């Protein structure tokens, strides 16, 4: 069983968390670059030295645009955005535009997928499964929407589709970064100023909205952490 070092960073600015992810990724890339050492004319795999991490964080209001995103999906002027205290970053993850803010669980797994499987599609489906299982803990049916990464409610009912968890990742030499953003008691009004994930005419929701009550944030984080361990079959340290 793989071991994953877990850290709950609490509230942290987006740039600071991004820099930490990059640091952990680069540390693993350096280890992987040196993973085959010559020993008596043979190359010995020392890849076991790479480390897995799972970071949880809660960001101040920020819009992030993925490398395949489009600026026209930002519907708010820079002046209004600054007046509302919302940051903006162009990132190196996949996907389009999304929002991060208070009472949203943002998860950043830094995993060496060569120790699991070399399949990004499978990795994304497993991240989705973590959220689907967590929603089931609350009596909700989370589902996948074909061709639209993330977790949804009623994705096959036109006019009722609503997204509860966005995802976007980067992978370098099979080491991952970025991850998922799961709306718990998130202020959904922030999504009115963007085209979330570049998907028009589909809504965004939260656990609070679906359940009709405030959700214990720490309880929700514990559920996501537990289900991450279950889906990826890892021991969280």
Active-site positions read 197
State how far the Cα of 218 lies from the Cα of 237, in Å rounded to an integer: 18
Question: Cβ distance 176 to 169 under 8 Å?
Answer: yes
Q: Which H or E run contains 193?
A: none
Phi-psi bin for 68: left (phi > 0), alpha (psi -120 to 50), beta? alpha
State how far the Cα of 209 lies from the Cα of 223, in Å rounded to an integer: 18
Cβ atoms within 10 Å of 197's Cβ, excluding its own: 23
Cα dihedral value 111, 115, 117, 120, nearest 10? 20
Residues in the chain: 237
């Amino acid at each position: 069983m793989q071991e994953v070092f877990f850290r709950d960073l609490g509230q942290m600015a987006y740039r600071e968390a991004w820099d930490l992810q990059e640091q952990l990724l680069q540390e693993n890339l350096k280890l992987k670059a040196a993973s085959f050492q010559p020993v008596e004319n043979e190359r010995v795999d020392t890849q076991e030295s790479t480390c897995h991490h799972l970071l949880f964080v809660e960001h101040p209001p920020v819009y992030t645009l993925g490398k395949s995103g489009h600026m026209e999906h930002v519907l708010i002027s820079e002046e209004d955005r600054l007046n509302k205290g919302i940051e903006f970053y162009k990132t190196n993850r996949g996907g389009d535009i999304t929002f991060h803010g208070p009472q949203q669980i943002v998860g950043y797994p830094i995993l060496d997928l060569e120790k699991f499987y070399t399949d990004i599609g499978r990795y994304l489906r497993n991240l989705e499964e973590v959220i689907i299982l967590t929603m089931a803990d609350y009596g909700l049916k989370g589902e996948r929407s074909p061709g639209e990464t993330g977790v949804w409610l009623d994705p096959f009912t036109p006019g009722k589709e609503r997204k509860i968890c966005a995802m976007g990742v980067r992978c370098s030499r099979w080491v991952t970064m970025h991850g998922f953003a799961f709306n718990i008691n998130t202020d959904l009004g922030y999504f009115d100023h963007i085209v979330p994930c570049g998907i028009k005419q589909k809504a965004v929701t939260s656990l609070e909205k679906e359940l009709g009550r405030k959700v214990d944030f720490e309880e929700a984080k514990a559920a996501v952490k537990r289900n991450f361990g279950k889906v990826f079959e890892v021991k969280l340290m």
